[in-house]
Amino acid sequence: MKNTICICLVVAASMTAFAADKPNDAKALQGIWMPVKAELGGQPMPDAVLKTITLKLDSGKYEVSVGGKPDKGTYTLDFATKPKSMTITGTAGPNSGKTFPAIYELKGDTLRICYDLSGAKRPTEFKSIAGTRLYLVTYNRKKE
């Protein structure tokens, strides 16, 4: 009985330590993000298009506005993968019912995401390759 209690305490302590080491990306990702650079299928997106896009992340929900047209859905994060990954699921707008596997990197107020817009496979690196539907975008946090 003593051994069982000790094992439970050790497991609980190690889980708490693991949780404390886990990145706090869920909270840090929240906010409004503006794209500063993007490529789709290896081709750069024009600045004029980038200026019409905003991304809002809030507690597992996203809202993207492209030229004033909204797209809404949910996102989940996976801290255990390398690179870290996210799964985006559209619930309203042009991507309703679609799921996009992605990877992300957060450094301060810069967020880089590589999405597979075909929905086929999670990217393994931050590259947008010609002939694919890989969308690589770098966002900066919008300052209030």
Predicted TM-score (pTM) of this structure: 0.82
Question: What does DSSP say about strands 85-92 and 99-107: parallel, antiparallel, or unpaired?
Answer: antiparallel
Which runs of E-coded beta strand occur in the chain? 31-40, 43-44, 53-58, 61-66, 69-78, 85-92, 99-107, 110-116, 134-141
Regions of the chain where pLDDT drops below 70: 1-23
CA–CA separation, 101 vs 91, rounded Å? 15
- CATH code of the region 24-141: 2.40.128.280
Residue ranges of domains in the chain: 24-141
Among 14, 27, 15, which residue's Cα sits nearest to residue 106? 27
Cα distances (Å, whole numbers) of residue 19 to 22, 24, 79, 137: 5, 9, 11, 29
pLDDT in tens, 90-116: 999 999 999 999 999 999 999 999 999
Query: What per-residue confidence (pLDDT) applies to 23?
Result: 56
pLDDT of residue 134: 98
